[in-house]
Amino acid sequence: MKKLFAGFAILILLNSCSVQKRFSKILPQNQGFHQGFIFIDFETGDTLFQKNADKYFVPASTTKLFTLYSATHFLPDSLLAFQYLETPDTLYVRGAFDPSYQHPDFKREYSVLTGNKPIVLDNSLYIGPAYGQGWMWDDAADDYQVTLSAFPVYGQLLKAEKSEEGLLFEPDFFANTDYNLEEIIPLGKGFEIETLAIGEKVSFPMIMNDQLLSGILSKDLGTNISIGEAPKVDSYKNQYSVSLDSALIYMMHRSDNFFAEQLLLQSGLKMFSDSINTGKIIERLLQNELMHLPQKPRWVDGSGLSRYNLFTPKDLTTIISLMESELGFERLKTFLPTNGLNGTMKTFAEEEAPFIYAKSGSMSGVYNLAGFMKTDKGRLLLFGVMNNNFTQSVSKTRSETADFLIEVKSRF
C-alpha cells in the first residue's frame, strides 16, 4: 500500500513538473523587464504555474478589482445620490460621493431638488485632497484624472464644442458667465477652448470650489444654492440614483477612474459615519476584510492612477476568488470585460471566440491582466499576468500577452 501511495505521489509530482515546463516554453520572451504570472485551475484550486507571483508590481487599473470588491461588499442595489432634510424654509442636502449626478451617461432629475425652497448643500463629508496620492501633476488637465468630491457634478468635467453659432458648453453655466476658464482648467489650458475650430470638441477637468459648485447647481436647478453646514440630526432621508451594477459595469468596462474613486469613497459611508477619505477606507479594508491577502499591498487610490500602488499577482487572483465566492461567477463575469466583445478587452485577442473575462491595467511601462479564462480542454483558469518596467510600447506588450494567453488556451 505504501508503494502504491508513493507511486501516486511521484505521478502527481511528475505531472506538476510537466505542466511547469509546458508553461515555461510558451512564456513571452522577456526583454529585461519585470514579469509575474499565476495560473490556477479554478475547479480544483491547484496552482498550475507561477513565476514571481509573490513579487510586487505597479498594478495600474487592475487596482479597480479592489474597488469593485469594496463596492459590491458594502453598497446596496442602488447608489446613494444624496441625503436630504426639509425644514419649513430650507432644503438641506448632504453629498454622498455619487458619480452619476448630471453625468452625460446617467442623467436624471430629482423632484426633491426642484422645489421653491433655497438649498444648502453640505459638501464637507470628504476631507481628503482634490487629487489622489501620487497622481501625476502633468496629467491634471487630462479628462481621465479629475478632482474628488462629496458632491461631484458632470463627471467633474467641462466640455466645449465650437459650432457655427459659437461655443457650446457643458455645464451650460459657462455659456453666459465671466469666469476666466484658465483659472478653472488645470495647467492653464483654458486658452485651448478659445482656439477651437468649428466641429472640434475638448474636455477638461474642472478645478472645483464652493463658488463654482454653487453657481453650476443654481443654474441647473433654477433656485438659490449655497454651500454650508447641514444640521447634525438623524432624520435625513436617502435619495438613490442609478443601480449599483450599472455603475460598476461602467467603471470596469470603460476603466473609468472617476467612477472608481467615487465608488470607493461611497463604500466608506458603510464604514464611517463622519469625515471620509480614501486612505481611511483602504486602511480599514486591509485591517479587516482584506487582512488575509497573500502579500499586504501598498494601496493608495481607487483607480490605479498612482504608481505608488504595489500589488502581487497572487493578490489579484485572491481578490477575484473572494468576489466569486460572494457574488457568484455569473454576476462577477458581467463586470469583467470580455475579449473581442466589450470594454477595454474589445480589441484584445479579437480574432478568438470569447474566452477571457478580465480586468486590464496599463500605463507607460505597465501592462497587467487578471481574471478568468476558459481553455480548449474545458478548464476554467483563474490567472494574473503582470508586466512592469518595459521600454517597448504598451501595445506591443499587450499583443504579446494576448498571444501567450491564446497558447495557454490551446495547450491546457
Residue 3: what pLDDT?
A: 53
Strands, DSSP E only, in 42-95? 47-51, 78-86, 91-95
Mean pLDDT for 305-334 is 98
Mean pLDDT for 105-114 is 91
Residue 264 has which C-alpha cell? Answer: 470607493
Residue 18: what pLDDT?
A: 76
Mean pLDDT for 18-33 is 83
Phi and psi angles of residue 160, each rounded to the nearest 5 degrees, phi first: -135, 145
Mean pLDDT for 237-245 is 98
Residue 116: what pLDDT?
A: 83
Residue 92 has which C-alpha cell? Answer: 438641506
Q: Is the pLDDT assigned to residue 11 strictly greater than 50?
A: no
pLDDT in tens, 146-193: 999 999 999 999 999 999 988 999 999 998 778 888 889 999 888 888
Mean pLDDT for 235-251 is 97
Mean pLDDT for 302-306 is 98
pLDDT > 70: what percent of the chain? 96
Mean pLDDT for 55-63 is 98
Q: Is the pLDDT assigned to residue 5 strictly greater than 80?
A: no
Residue 302: what pLDDT?
A: 98
Question: CA 39, CA 75: separation in Å to the nearest integer?
Answer: 30
Higher-scoring residue by pLDDT: 27, 259: 259
Mean pLDDT for 224-229 is 95
Residue 323: what pLDDT?
A: 98
CA atoms within 13 A on the CB side of 251: 32
Q: Is the pLDDT assigned to residue 13 strictly greater than 70?
A: no
Higher-scoring residue by pLDDT: 16, 381: 381
Lowest mean pLDDT among 31-40, 62-71, 379-388: 31-40
Q: Is the pLDDT assigned to residue 206 strictly greater than 50?
A: yes
Question: CA 152, CA 188: separation in Å to the nearest integer?
Answer: 22
CA atoms within 13 A on the CB side of 368: 35
Mean pLDDT for 357-366 is 98
Confidence of residue 16 (pLDDT cuts 50, 70, 90): low
Residue 31: what pLDDT?
A: 76
Checking DSSP bridges between strand 380-388 and strand 366-374, what pairing results, if any? antiparallel
Give how far the C-alpha of residue 367 lies from the chain's centroid of Cα atoms, to the nearest Å: 16
Average pLDDT taken over every residue of the chain: 93
Q: Is the pLDDT assigned to residue 106 strictly greater than 80?
A: yes
Cα–Cα nearest to 68, from 280, 273, 253, 293: 253
